[in-house]
Amino acid sequence: MKRALYWLLLPAILLATWLLLNDTVERNQVILGAVLALLLSWAAMALRPLRSAPKRPFVILRLLGHVIADVTRSNVAVARLVWLGPSAYTSGFIRIPVEIHDPHALAALACIITCTPGTVWAGYSQHSGILTLHVLDLTDENEWIELVKRRYERPLKEIFE
């Protein structure tokens, strides 16, 4: 039963999106949307050879809360730096050793870091496990390393590994 729900999740989301975009629940649109959702889901299966099964939904919610708070704080900080001018900050690169190896967790970490204003995922070495991060306002490198490892890497490790 759980497996059937997993396979129907993407078609259900696609069908709901189709109906919302068309702003109707007419029978013809529901049928067309369902057929398109099933065909697109079937085609998308070939693009995802690696499956993921995220665990611990409460950790996911806590991580989401941290990300929203950090993005909000970072938006304010970057706006302040932009208004003060380029002499107000020192940008730089940081090398952070990460312990996660799951590709889905690494992709989530890349999205979190890149979506946060003032930070950019600059590279990752799979062999050494070193993440290179560019920070707009780099004052304390150890603080950034601790932030990424404690706030993002640890929950992602719980969720995906």
> Which mean pLDDT values do the consecutive 10-residue runs of the chain (161 residues) have?
68 91 91 92 78 81 94 90 78 92 90 91 92 89 91 92 80
Confidence at residue 6, expressed as pLDDT on a 0 to 100 scale: 63
Residues 128 and 71 in one domain: yes
Residues 13 and 86 in one domain: no
pTM (two decimals): 0.71
Residues 86 and 39 in one domain: no
φ/ψ of 7, rounded to 5, equals: -75, -25
Task: Say if 51 falls within a structural domain.
Answer: no
The count of domains in the chain is: 2
Range of the structural domain that residue 14 is part of: 2-45
Residues 72 and 149 in one domain: yes
Confidence at residue 4, expressed as pLDDT on a 0 to 100 scale: 64
Residues 150 and 97 in one domain: yes
Asked if residue 22 lies in contact with residue 29, where contact means CB atoms within 8 angstroms, the answer is yes
Task: Say if 102 falls within a structural domain.
Answer: yes
Query: What is the biggest distance separating any 2 CA atoms in the chain, rounded to whole angstroms?
Result: 61
